Amino acid sequence: MKLITSLLLLLSQSISYANAQATATRLRVEYLDSPLTIDVPTPRFTWALSHPTRGQYQTAYSITVNQVNPNGSLGPSTWSTGKVMSNVSLNVPYGGSALTSDTDYQWSITWYDSNNVASTPAIGTFSVALLNVNAWLLFMLVITKQQLVILIVPLLLLYHRILFVLVCIFLV
């Protein structure tokens, strides 16, 4: 009975290894997993390798970065490396067109093992913050009247409280 159980266990493990595919894991942009915002114009990409066979290593990679539309669909590609013959998987710098402020992006990485077999593409995301002062000023100008009241009332209350404290100090 033990022999049958051991054989079944060994068979199930070999089947799971046979079905496993090479892929990239721990996708990071600027040292962060799927960062909500990055504030650099040329981010760096990092990934780890996962392969069902021991001793495999990366011989090449291919990165594609796409803009994500507001409705969630993929927009235009901003950068595609093509197949780059390199074993580097740490801090690969972005080399495409300038990233747009306040925009979401999706990136995918495919790496090639020592037998030149492509891995399953792995997908990561990141968002770009407002990168320049003009973008911040434009963001502040788009405030509605209701939002303006919400911002100004606490400032007025704070101003009157400071004024009241100053008057009390000078009267004493």
Q: What is the pLDDT of residues 56-110, one digit of tens each?
A: 899 999 999 999 998 889 988 999 999 999 999 999 999 999 998 889 999 999 9
In terms of Cα–Cα distance, which of 83, 144, 70, 72 is closest to 112? 83
Cα-Cα-Cα-Cα torsion 161, 166, 169, 172, nearest 10 degrees, comes to -90
Q: Is the Cβ–Cβ distance between 138 and 101 less than 8 Å?
A: no
CATH hierarchy code of domain 21-131: 2.60.40.10
Which residues have a Cβ under 8 Å from the Cβ of 167 and sit 6 or more positions away? none
Q: What is the pLDDT of residues 112-164, one digit of tens each?
A: 999 999 999 999 999 998 776 555 555 555 555 555 555 555 555 555 555 55
